[in-house]
Structure 1
Amino acid sequence: MISSQKNLTNLRKAAITSGISLIIMALAAGFSYGYVHGSLVVSGDISTTYHNIASSIMLFKAEIIGWVVILILDVIVAWSFYIFLKPVNQELALLASWLRLTYAAILGIAILNKVFVLLLLNNTDYLSLLKIDQLQVNIALYLEAFEMIWSIGLIVFGVHLLVVGWIAFQSNSIPKIISILLVLAAIGYIGIHLGKTLLIEQHIITTIELIFNIPMIAGELGFGLWLLFKGGRVTIKS
């Protein structure tokens, strides 16, 4: 009885940790990518992008901090998901955890490109040695590298969500609508970012985004809210 109560407590702690982390990540991603990156980076316009970032260094630094927060929380979620999902299927829960850690590592590599942009803009030696057009091209390449590397990571992330969705589907505690949304979100992530990585035409990627946008938002965020308010209150099992 004591052991059962302890297990239930551990599950609840893991659920709360996962839920809070996912919600904070959604907010941080909305700020770093949705607001800052979306405001500063103008696709196809290197000059405007350069001047936007150069004139908003503090905002750009805040974006990088947001990404680092997301990276740390991804590691925490990889652990808490494993704790919460292993009663259903320990092998798949471990696989999902490693996939998320792999994604986090790829995200870390992507974030370094943002740091390189910051170094270029903050170092007076680089500014004096490079012509303005050379500086702009270098910054544009680092920003494109960020997008490409992150897209590769999001393919791995999509596979992670697919595994999590399947585990959730096996559980008799997690609502089936959440498992379906997680699987749809996984398909969306994999399809969109395979398209970006393979340089498929933009209109095809845009169509996939329109189809899967809602499940991609609702899937993990909905799971996070369920974990926060309901997860671990009863024994989770297959």
Structure 2
Amino acid sequence: MPRTPQIARLAGLSYLGIIAFGITAELALRGPLIAAGAQAITENATLWRLSIGADLVMATLDITLALLLFTLFRPVSEGMARAALVLRLVQMTIVAAHLPLLAEALGSATPMALIDRHAAGYDLGLWFFGLNSLVMAWLLHRATAPRLLSGLVGAAGLVYLFGSATRFIAPEVNEAMQPAYLVPLLAELGFALWLLRGARQLTK
């Protein structure tokens, strides 16, 4: 597969873009406004809309990445690569479908209720991303990627699944486990950097 390094690097760039735009939307732009309250959101409508735009870019890159990863890992196991593709697309479909709630929040008398519904939808999407991560961990292991990487991606999948489940079943546990999301961040950064190196250990 002579094109594997090029496809892998494009996937790595897409992954870094997802991480960058996701952090920008949720933590840099939207997070401070939500913490400040409904009035801050109204007074900073441009920043709020920019956060939605960043989410749209993230969603577009996620679809791109899903297709690139399917192309890369199809020779390892076509069935599992297809499962990973479907799960990632389901996750992003759910996340994107809840974005209009953020737009509605700007003109709403009760914006926090809409924001909470968006957050719940995001966590619902992460359930499927957790399943995707477990499948990707298996594919990485079979592809002879570094064991630390496949282990981290698998651990990230468990964090996502536990986080999504507790969001709906045990909110107090969900709040206490938030520091565990450092594991997915490290896993996804590691995955992106490995792809940027050309994924030369993709096949035996």
The verdict on a shared fold, with TM-score over 0.5 as the criterion, is yes
Counterpart code for 1:13: Q
CA deviation profile, 1:45-98 (whole Å, cap 9, x unmatched): xxx522111111111111011000111011001100101111111110010001
CA distance in 2, matches of 1:77, 1:195: 28
Matched, 1:74 2:62: yes
1:208 to 177, 193, 198: 177
| Structure 2 partner of 1:143 | 115
Whether the 8 Å contact between 2:134 and 2:154 is mirrored in structure 1 is yes
CA deviation profile, 1:180-223 (whole Å, cap 9, x unmatched): 0000000001101111122x142x2244333x333211111101
Aligned positions of 1:98-113 closer than 5 A:
98-113=86-101
Counterpart code for 1:220: E
| Structure 2 partner of 1:186 | 157
CA distance in 2, matches of 1:143, 1:207: 21
Counterpart code for 2:161: I
Partner of 1:186: helix, strand, or coil?
Answer: helix
CA distance in 2, matches of 1:40, 1:89: 44
- How far 1:13 sits from its partner (Å)? 2.5
Counterpart code for 2:10: T
Matched, 1:86 2:68: no
CA distance in 1, matches of 2:56, 2:112: 21
CA deviation profile, 1:131-189 (whole Å, cap 9, x unmatched): xxxx432x2221111001111001111111110011111112x1111000000000001
Counterpart code for 1:12: P
CA distance in 1, matches of 2:193, 2:183: 15
| Structure 2 partner of 1:229 | 197
* Percent of aligned positions that are identical: 21
Partner of 1:62: helix, strand, or coil?
Answer: helix
Partner of 1:53: helix, strand, or coil?
Answer: helix
| Pair member with larger Rg | 1
CA distance in 2, matches of 1:167, 1:177: 13
Q: Which runs of 5 or more residues in structure 2 are unaligned?
A: none
Counterpart code for 2:109: Q
Superposition TM-score, scaled by structure 1 size: 0.81
Counterpart code for 2:59: L
Aligned positions of 1:115-130 closer than 5 A:
115-118=103-106, 120=107
CA distance in 2, matches of 1:185, 1:31: 21
Whether the 8 Å contact between 1:188 and 1:209 is mirrored in structure 2 is no
CA distance in 1, matches of 2:2, 2:87: 26
- How far 1:34 sits from its partner (Å)? 1.1
CA distance in 2, matches of 1:70, 1:197: 25
CA distance in 2, matches of 1:103, 1:8: 31
CA distance in 2, matches of 1:187, 1:25: 20
CA deviation profile, 1:101-146 (whole Å, cap 9, x unmatched): 111110111111112224x2xxxxxxxxxxxxxx432x22211110
Give the aligned CA root-mean-square deviation in angstroms.
1.5
CA distance in 1, matches of 2:153, 2:186: 8
| Structure 2 partner of 1:114 | 102
CA distance in 2, matches of 1:14, 1:208: 35
Whether the 8 Å contact between 1:71 and 1:108 is mirrored in structure 2 is yes
- How far 1:27 sits from its partner (Å)? 1.0
